[in-house]
Structure 1
Amino acid sequence: MQKNSINNLELPLSAENYNLITNHFLNLPDLHFFQKCNHQYRVNRGVYNMIDDWFFEYGIVQIAPRRIFILAFLDFAYQENKTESTKFLRFGHGGLMKKLNDFIKNHEKGSYGQN
């Protein structure tokens, strides 16, 4: 599978990722993109902003690839919390940073669904 280098991360150029990259969803204004994330993953604005900032600081500067990683991370976090009946994803004190680091470790190993 061909890969596209995003600084120090590799984004597989699968048919799914290509469709996502070319989809207008990634090019929505920030508020509309957040609203879609909120609707699908039950993430509040503060958490979304922290995730976005974390990936930016990690080195994913371009918006479309960063949004792909945001969606992948939200899916990763949501899969582990989907049994909870809370209004929003909750991470607890320090939990968001731990979960982001776990996601990156899993991404680098190529094992998204495993901790």
Structure 2
Amino acid sequence: MKTQNENLVGIIRKTNKQFETSKYLNLPDLQFFNWCNRKYGVNRGVYNTIDQWFYEYGIVEIQYRRIQILAFLEFNKDERLVEDQHKFIRFGHGGLTKRLNEFINESEQSRNVIKLEIR
């Protein structure tokens, strides 16, 4: 399966740089999801959709994709969980893709970003 932007590795905000060294990045997939579920209230379907979206965006390497997943969940966690008071983060119809695009656009336009280079 070809990605849209194979050479794009991703953008990491300086404020979320701690994700680069997170001990959770190297967990097996199910354990990583379970941790995200507990910390951010994301269900499996939403998690898989976010992961797939970043993959298709061009972030192919799993560690970089997980960094983006964590940054995206952090980007959404405060307003979504407090506002809705639900067990899981909710986006509504079409809301997840909209928020992913907003996240990428804000990251690219922000002066506080670090572009990762392919090694």
Distance 1:9 1:91 in 2: 23
- TM-score normalized by structure 2? 0.78
Instruction: Tell me what 1:109 maps to.
Output: 109
Alignment partner of 1:82: what SS? Answer: helix
Count residues in correspondence.
Answer: 105
Distance 1:15 1:78 in 2: 15
Alignment partner of 1:11: what SS? Answer: strand
Distance 1:104 1:16 in 2: 14
Alignment partner of 1:61: what SS? Answer: coil
| C-alpha deviation, 1:16, in angstroms | 6.1
Instruction: Tell me what 2:4 maps to.
Output: none
Instruction: Tell me what 1:96 maps to.
Output: 96
Distance 1:50 1:64 in 2: 17
- 8 Å CA contact retained: 1:51, 1:70: yes
| C-alpha deviation, 1:15, in angstroms | 9.4
Instruction: Tell me what 2:61 maps to.
Output: 62
Distance 1:85 1:23 in 2: 27
Matches within 5 A, 1:1-115: 7=8, 9-11=10-12, 17=17, 20-83=19-82, 84-110=84-110
- TM-score normalized by structure 1? 0.80
- 8 Å CA contact retained: 1:52, 1:70: yes
Gaps of 5+ in 2: 1-6, 113-119
Gaps of 5+ in 1: 1-5
Computed over aligned residues only, the root mean square deviation of the Cα atoms, in angstroms, reads 2.3
Instruction: Tell me what 2:116 maps to.
Output: none
Letter in 2 for 1:7: L
| C-alpha deviation, 1:23, in angstroms | 3.8
Instruction: Point out the more displaced range, 78-87 or 50-59.
Output: 78-87
Distance 2:47 2:38 in 1: 12
Of structures 1 and 2, the one scoring higher in RCO (CA 8 A, sep 6+) is: 2
Alignment partner of 2:91: what SS? Answer: coil
| C-alpha deviation, 1:91, in angstroms | 0.4
Alignment partner of 1:89: what SS? Answer: coil
